[in-house]
Amino acid sequence: MQRLAGKVALVTGGARGIGLATARRFAEEGAAAVILADIDARTGARAAAEHPAFAFCALDVTDDAAWQQAVDDVVARHGHLDIVVNSAGIAVVATIESVTLEQWRRVQAVNVDGTFLGCRHAVRAMKPPTGRGGALINLSSVSGIVGGHNLAAYNASKGGVRLLTKSVALHCARQGYGIRCNSIHPGFTETDMLHDLAAGGRDPEALRERLRASVPLGRNARAEEIAAMAAYLASDEAGFVTGAEFVIDGGVTAQ
């Protein structure tokens, strides 16, 4: 069953990790076009060559004008925009005492401002009378629900994404726009971000093993498992789902 047949999607952070896994799943589900939006032009262009439904768009998610251009280009080319996945994100391992103001602002800019701008421009394109409704999917984290002693900036940013999602969902519902907005909260997921964070430690493999051991299911998530949830939320099967948060963490927050 191709649940996204005829739909047009834009996925930020689409060059790799959860973003790319989500784009691949959308293509499998029959999406007419999937725009991989990423600041990494080389990797993004290479990823876009994987599938005929893919196209690459260079996008700095913190840039308002760049967002406007990207969304306008999608609508001009395809006639409509049905799905936006705000997957781009960064993390800094630092406590409230060690995180610098520069690091703090950069994490908020990418994770919160980027999601805010993505939602704002998606709503502009999707709402009637020119749009036909759609689905917004914001990648938060279990770190947007529970705290970590050394994730001060990341916790704050992902908590912000969680509640921004609910505000957007309620606004769109009350306006009758036909736009749904939900958040996904992955736990430890085998992506470049996790590998890069582990590489910053003295023993990366030992750190990864400790992370896996802390998960009740005994392993980290695969990006494809997060993408499966995104595909559901993007589809018409989730037509009555908005303002909700979906935790995919192997049982970590159940403890």
Could you read off the pLDDT of 112-156 as tens digits, one per residue? Answer: 999 999 999 999 999 999 999 999 999 999 999 999 999 999 999
**Is the link from the previous residue into 52 a cis peptide, with omega within 30 of 0?**
no
pLDDT reported for residue 200: 59
Span 178-204, pLDDT tens digits:
999 999 999 988 887 766 665 655 677
On the 0-12 / 13-18 / 19+ scale of CB atoms within 10 A, 130 is: exposed
Q: Is the pLDDT score of 12 beyond 70?
A: yes
Ordered structural domains, the chain, with CATH:
8-191+222-254 (3.40.50.720)
Provide, rounded to the nearest whole percent, the portion of the chain with pLDDT above 70. Answer: 96
Contacts of 254 (CB under 8 A, 6+ apart): 216
Instruction: State how far the Cα of 45 lies from the Cα of 233, in Å rounded to an integer.
Output: 26
Record the tokens describing residue 231, joined without a space: 């595909």
Is-contact 103 97, C-beta < 8 A? no
Residues designated as active site: 154
Q: What one-letter code names the amino acid at 194?
A: L
User: Residues 92, 22, 103, CA angle at the centre, nearest 5°?
Assistant: 15
Is-contact 145 137, C-beta < 8 A? no
Tracing tokens 């076009």 back to the chain, one arrives at 33
Instruction: State how far the Cα of 22 lies from the Cα of 38, in Å rounded to an integer.
Output: 14
Contacts of 253 (CB under 8 A, 6+ apart): 142, 145, 146, 187, 247
Instruction: State how far the Cα of 16 lies from the Cα of 146, in Å rounded to an integer.
Output: 26
Q: For every residue of the chain, which 3-state class applies, written as one string?
A: CCCCCCCEEEEECCCCHHHHHHHHHHHHCCCCEEEEEECCHHHHHHHHCCCCCEEEEECCCCCHHHHHHHHHHHHHHHCCCCEEEECCCCCCCECCCCCCHHHHHHHHHHHHHHHHHHHHHHHHHHCCCCCCCEEEEEECCHHHCCCCCCEHHHHHHHHHHHHHHHHHHHHHHHHCCCEEEEEEEECCECCHHHHHHHHCCCCHHHHHHHHHHCCCCCCCECHHHHHHHHHHHHCHHHCCCCCCEEEECCCHHHC
Is-contact 247 145, C-beta < 8 A? yes
Beta bridge partners of 134: 179
Average pLDDT over residues 221-235: 97
Which of the four pLDDT bands, split at 50, 70 and 90, describes residue 15? very high
- pTM given for the model: 0.95
Span 80-121, pLDDT tens digits:
999 999 999 999 999 999 999 999 999 999 999 999 999 999
Span 18-74, pLDDT tens digits:
999 999 999 999 999 999 999 999 999 999 999 999 999 999 999 999 999 999 999
Record the tokens describing residue 69, joined without a space: 């251009």
Span 239-255, pLDDT tens digits:
999 999 999 999 999 99
